[in-house]
Chain A
Amino acid sequence: MARILGRRLGKWVSLRTGIILAVIILLLWVSAAFALDQKQVFLPGETSEGHHIFEASCASCHEGFKPVSNETCTRCHQAELTDDVHGTKKFRDPRWAEYLERVDVLTCTACHNEHVHMFDRGVNLQPELCMACHEELTTTQLKSHEGFAADGCWTAGCHNYHDHRTISTGFLRQNIGEPDMLPVQVLPDRVVTTSLDKAPTPDLTQEFLGGGS
């Protein structure tokens, strides 16, 4: 009886020691990651093409354990969203409320996910995402699109979800049939004016030679 008890106790002790050791190792691992600034170990998956160069800067996108907010994304990506055709301008209009219920397009993370497998546009999309709202179009007004792959909208290079200024049907219609080389080829020119005929006398010299100021 005593032997059985002893064996059980032995088992329990070794289990307890094991758990304590595991916790200590885990704590050491976490503290070492912070101390050595190797926070990559906490990444739950592969970081996207654009974000990987600052992937260890967790606070760039995350505030504690709160979900990533739109403000976090627009801090850097505002320029890309200037003419967002699926933006607030459209979806704050109650006429589109029904569609907003299908996909919450006013929340970046409804479509974009980080640390998961990425398509080449740096976003994680359900391939048939567009179809949540646009499927009926392909069977009515846009019969020419019938039978196209559901992810073809954005993988075939035909549609740009946020910014369709240069790929909308109106823009294509306006420019189709243009020659390969346009008759007038102009790039914006940078004009740099000068205010002096001659540069002034350099105002620091000794400082550069190590003489101090």
Chain B
Amino acid sequence: MIIRQSIGSVLRSLMAIALVAVLVLGSGLTARATTQQELDEITAQWQTSAHGLNDVNCASCHQNKETKEFIETPNHESCQSCHEQSVDTFLLSKHGIRLLEEKSPLTPAMARLPMKHEAMDQQMNCNACHNVHSANTVEASVDACLTCHNDNHSLNYQNSKHAELFADSKELPRPGAGAVSCATCHLPREVDDRLETPIVYVNHNNTYNLKPQDRMVGDVCMNCHGIEYSYNSIFDPELVEANFDRSPTLELQTFDLMKAAEERRTGNTSN
């Protein structure tokens, strides 16, 4: 018992030291003010952004509405007050689930997939992918992903036909309807038609359509590709790894079965 108590007290002192260290470091960080130059750059980005031109001012995010207290680094709850669907879906994703569970944000160091060494401590919150001052979602659609992801599928994107389609959007504030970025498939735009005026929002739950893959086929691939092409591509792990750099060679038996059933049903054997 004595040993347990003394270990307990040692642990408590260690935790107290850690807490003091965090507070000292933390206060050091909050004390660091933005320079005038940084502020000018941020202001310039904001002035032409969708935020600036919709009267979303600094205080909208950087000030507590009730206490008027200054908030240096607003969190996802601040974004959620306007971007409800985006944040709600983000919190159900692998990227956001730790925040939902009130844990520290996810970092690439916790991932099982290969991640870039220099990004291991990057904390997954809205700011990790979005520059909220420019509100430019072109960067969030590909560059942000490749800051951390280092697996073959991600790295091969740049050589794909999809990346060619994305090139036209590089100078825009958000990807055009013909662009295919990482986000097109993994954070797809969805139409919320439950509303009186249906709106297109971005489903930030990147795990929703990942497995089983047929959900991605229906929600994403079939916006552009035929069903057989889509299924024969996405069920071929090699082609997925190569990020679809060629036409599919797989021939899923399910389509043969369907064709045979159709022939039996219609009595037509011509096709």
In the complex, which residue of chain A has the Cβ closest to the Cβ of B54? A195
- Which of A10-18, A103-111, A202-210 forms part of the interface with chain B? A202-210
- A173 pairs with B258, CB closer than 8 A: yes
Contact between chains at B58 and A144 (CB < 8 Å): no
Instruction: Flag whether A4 is at the interface (Cβ < 8 A).
Output: no
Q: Mark A1-28, 1 if CB is under 8 A from B, else 0.
A: 0000000000000000000000010011
When the two chains form their complex, are residues A194 and B92 in contact, meaning their CB atoms are under 8 A apart? no
Choice from B68, B176, B207 contacting A213 with Cβ under 8 Å: B68
State the CA gap A178–B222 with chains docked (Å): 10
Chain B residues whose C-beta falls within 8 Å of the C-beta of A195 in the assembled complex: 53-55
Contact, CB under 8 Å: B261 / A181: no
Task: For the complex, give the distance between the alpha carbons of A204 and B112 in Å.
Answer: 42
Residues facing A in B149-194 (CB within 8 A) are 173-174, 176-180, 184, 189-191
Sorting the interface of chain A by its residue count into under 10, 10 to 19, 20 to 34 or 35 or more gives 35 or more
Residues of A contacting B176 with CB < 8 Å? 189
Are the CB atoms of A207 and B70 closer together than 8 Å? yes
Known A-B contacts A24-B3, A57-B103; A169 and B227 likewise in contact (beta carbons under 8 Å): no
Known: A120-B211, A199-B53. A176 touches B94 (CB 8 A): no
Q: Verify if A132 is at the interface (C-beta below 8 Å from B).
A: no
- Judging by beta carbons under 8 Å apart, are A178 and B112 in contact? no
Q: B212 contacts the other chain (Cβ, under 8 Å)?
A: yes
* Bound form: Cα–Cα A167–B255 in Å: 11
Whole-angstrom CA separation of A197 from B53 in the bound complex: 7
Given the complex, which residues of B lie within 8 Å of A197, measured CB to CB? 53
Distance, CA A49 to CA B210, complexed state (A): 12
B53 touches A196 (CB 8 A): yes
Contacts of B213 in A (CB 8 A): 157
A32→B212 CA distance, assembly (Å): 40
Q: How far is the CA of A186 from the CA of B213 in the complex (A)?
A: 20
* Given the contacts A180-B229, A180-B247, A191-B200, A166 and B222 also touching, CB distance less than 8 Å: yes
Whether the pair A194, B50 counts as a contact (CB closer than 8 A) is: yes
Q: How large is the interface on B (under 10, 10 to 19, 20 to 34, 35 or more residues)?
A: 35 or more
Contact with B along A62-86 (1 / 0, CB 8 A): 0000000000000010011000000
A180 to B247 Cα, complex, angstroms: 9
Taken together as a complex, chains A and B put the C-alpha atoms of A57 and B97 apart, in Å, by 11
Tell me the bound Cα distance from A171 to B226 in angstroms: 12
Query: Does A176 contact B177, Cβ atoms closer than 8 Å?
Result: no
* B214–A160 touching, CB < 8 Å: yes
Is B27 in contact with chain A by the CB < 8 A criterion? no
Question: In the complex, are the beta carbons of A200 and B57 less than 8 A apart?
Answer: yes
CA A82 – CA B8 in complex, angstroms?
A: 48
Q: In whole angstroms, how far apart are the Cα atoms of A78 and B11 in the complex?
A: 41
**Which residues from chain A sit less than 8 Å from chain B, CB to CB?**
24, 27-28, 31-32, 35-36, 49-50, 52-54, 57, 60, 76, 79-80, 120-122, 144-145, 154, 156-158, 160, 163, 165-167, 169, 171-173, 175-182, 185-200, 202-205, 207-213
The 4 closest A-B pairs by CB, nearest first: A210-B33, A166-B218, A178-B226, A199-B52
Besides A76-B97, A157-B214, 12 more A-B contacts (Cβ < 8 Å) are A24-B4, A32-B11, A57-B101, A157-B235, A160-B215, A166-B219, A179-B226, A187-B179, A196-B53, A204-B57, A204-B70, A213-B63
